[in-house]
Structure 1
Amino acid sequence: MNMIQNAKDQVLELTLAAYRKAADAGLLPADCPVQPSVEIPKDTANGDYTTTFCLAAAKALRKNPREVAQILLDNMALEGSYFTSAAMAGPGFLNFTLGQRWFSETVATVQREGADYGKNDMLAGKKYMVEFVSANPTGPMHMGNARGGVLGDTLASVLQKSGADVWREFYVNDAGNQIEKFAKSLEARYFQIFKGEDAVEFPEDGYHGDDIRELAQLYADAHGDELLHVDEKTRHDALARFGLDHNIPKMKADLARYGIQYDEWFFESSLHESGYVADSVAELTKRGYTYEKDGALWLKTSEILAAQLRAAGKSDEAIEKLGLKDDVLRRANGFYTYFAADIAYHRNKFAVRGFDKVINIWGADHHGHVARLKGAMDALGLDGAHRLDIVLMQLVKLVQDGEVVRMSKRTGKAVSLTDLLDMVPVDACRYFFNAKPETQMEFDLGLAVREDSENPVYYVQYAHARICTLLKNLAADGHTVPSPDAVDFSLLTDPTELALIKQIAGYSDIVRLAARDYDPSFINRYLTDLAAAFHKFYNACRIKGEAEDLLNARLLLADTARSVLKNGMELIGCSAPEKM
Structure 2
Amino acid sequence: MMETMNPQALSTLIVSIVTELVNAGKAGELTADMVPTAQKAAVMRPKDRAHGDWASNIALQLGKRAGMQPRAFAEPIAEKLRENDGIASVDIAGPGFINITLNAAASAQIVDEVLQQGSSFGTNTHLAGRTLNLEFVSANPTGPIHIGGTRWAAVGDSMARVLQANGADVVREYYFNDHGSQIDRFAKSLVAAAHNEPVPADGYKGSYINEIASTVISQATADGVDILSLPRVDDGVNEDGEPLGEGDSAQREEFRKRAVPLMFDEIKKSMEEFRVHFDVYFHEQSLYDDGEVDKALAKLRELGVVYEKDGATWLRTTDYGDDKDRVLIRSNGMPSYFCSDVAYYFNKRHRATKPADTAIYMLGADHHGYIGRLMAAAAAFGDKPQENMQILIGQLVNIFKNGEVVRMSKRAGNIVTIDDLVDAVGVDAARYSLARTSYNQTLDIDLDVLTSHTNENPVYYVQYAHARSCAVDRNAQAAGVNRDGADLSLLDLKDDEELLAQLALYREVLTTAADLREPHRIAHYLEDLAGAYHTWYAKERVVAMPLTDAEKRGEQQAVELLEKQKNPEPARAAARLRLNDAVRQVVENGLALLAVSAPEKM
Taking structure 1 as the reference length, what is the TM-score of the superposition?
0.87
Letter in 2 for 1:261: H
The one-letter code of the counterpart of 1:374 is M
State which of 157, 161, 168 in structure 2 corresponds to 1:153. Answer: 157
- With over 3 angstroms needed to count, the CA separation of the structure-2 counterparts of 1:537 and 1:191, relative to structure 1, is same
**Distance across 1 between alignment mates of 2:27 and 2:416:** 69
- Return the match for 2:285 from 253, 263, 269: 269
2:543 paired residue number: 544
What is residue 521 of structure 2 aligned with on the other side? 522
- Shift in Å at residue 216 of structure 1? 1.4
Match of 1:568 among 582, 590, 600: 590
1:453 aligns with 2:455: yes
Residue 4 of structure 1 corresponds to: 7
How many Å apart are 1:48 and its aligned residue? 2.5
Query: Which is worse superposed, 219-228 or 53-62?
Result: 53-62
| Structure 2 residue aligned with 1:579 | 601
1:170 maps to what in 2? 174
Q: Deviations over 1:55-78 (max 9, x none)?
A: 6777788887666766776x6474
Q: Contact between 1:10 and 1:81, CA under 8 Å: does it hold in 2?
A: no
Does the 8 Å CA contact 1:465/1:579 hold for their aligned counterparts? yes
Q: Write the mapping of 1:334-353 to structure 2, written as runs, cut at 5 A.
A: 334-353=333-352
Q: Letter of the aligned partner of 1:223 in structure 2?
A: A
Structure 2 gaps, min length 5? 232-247, 545-567
8 Å CA contact 1:11–1:96 kept in 2: the answer is no
Q: Is the 8 A contact 2:327 2:336 kept in 1?
A: yes
Distance 1:141 1:68 in 2: 57
Distance 2:453 2:176 in 1: 38
Deviates more, 1:463-472 or 1:95-104: 95-104
Offset of residue 12 of structure 1: 4.7
Residues 489 and 348 (structure 1), Cα distance of their counterparts in 2 relative to 1, 3 Å cut: same
Question: Cα distance 1:60–1:508, how it changes in 2: closer, same or farther (>3 A)?
Answer: closer
Whether the 8 Å contact between 1:452 and 1:458 is mirrored in structure 2 is yes
Q: CA deviation at 1:294?
A: 4.3
Cα deviation, residue 473, structure 1: 1.7
Residues 400 and 279 of structure 1, relative CA distance in 2, 3 Å threshold: same
Partner of 1:494: 493
Cα 1:20/1:236, change in 2 over 3 Å: closer
Q: Which amino acid aligns with 2:226?
A: E
| Residue in 1 that maps onto 2:532 | 533
Identity of aligned residues (%): 38
- The answer on 1:116 being equivalent to 2:123 is no
**SS of equivalent to 1:235:** helix
- Sort the Cα spacing of 1:302 and 1:57 in 2 relative to 1 into closer, same or farther, 3 A: closer
Q: Deviations over 1:35-56 (max 9, x none)?
A: 5956433323132234456667
Describe the shift of the 1:230–1:291 C-alpha distance in structure 2 as closer, same or farther (beyond 3 A).
farther
Quote the RMSD (CA, aligned, Å).
2.8
Alignment of 1:301-340 (within 5 A): 301-305=317-321, 324-340=323-339
Q: How much has 1:425 moved relative to structure 2?
A: 1.1
Moved more, 236-245 or 82-91: 82-91
Distance 1:11 1:532 in 2: 30
Task: State the Cα distance separating 1:407 from its structure 2 match.
Answer: 4.5
Count of residues in Structure 1 that have an aligned counterpart in Structure 2:
547
2:480 alignment partner in structure 1 = 478
Q: Could you list the per-position Cα deviations for residues 303-353 of structure 1 after superposition, in whole angstroms to 9, with x for gaps in the alignment? A: 4435xxxxxxxxxxxxxxxxx233332233332222111111110000225
TM-superposed deviation, 1:207: 1.7
Going from structure 1 to structure 2, the CA distance change for 1:184 and 1:76 (only over 3 Å counts) comes to closer
- In the alignment, which residue of structure 1 is the partner of 2:471? 469
Change beyond 3 A, Cα 1:136–1:488: same
TM-score, length-scaled by structure 2: 0.84
Residue by residue, what CA displacement relative to the aligned partner does 1:368-397 show, whole Å, maximum 9, x if unpaired? Answer: 111101211221233345200011111111
Whether the 8 Å contact between 1:150 and 1:430 is mirrored in structure 2 is yes
Q: In the alignment, what sits opposite 2:89?
A: 85
CA, structure 1 residues 205+487, in 2 after alignment: closer, same or farther (shift >3 Å)? same
Say if 1:2 and 1:509, in contact at 8 Å, map to a contact too: no
Distance 1:537 1:142 in 2: 41
8 Å Cα contact 2:141-2:177 kept in structure 1: yes
Structure 1 CA distance for aligned equivalents of residues 96 and 316 of structure 2: 57
Report Cα offsets for 1:170-213 as digits up to 9, x if no partner: 01111112122222222222233xxxx3xxx6432122222222
Q: Which residue of 2 aligns with 1:226?
A: 226
Structure having the larger proportion of residues in helix: 1
Match of 2:563 in 1: none
Q: Is the 8 A contact 2:30 2:65 kept in 1?
A: no
Structure 1 segments unaligned to the other structure (5+ residues) = 307-323
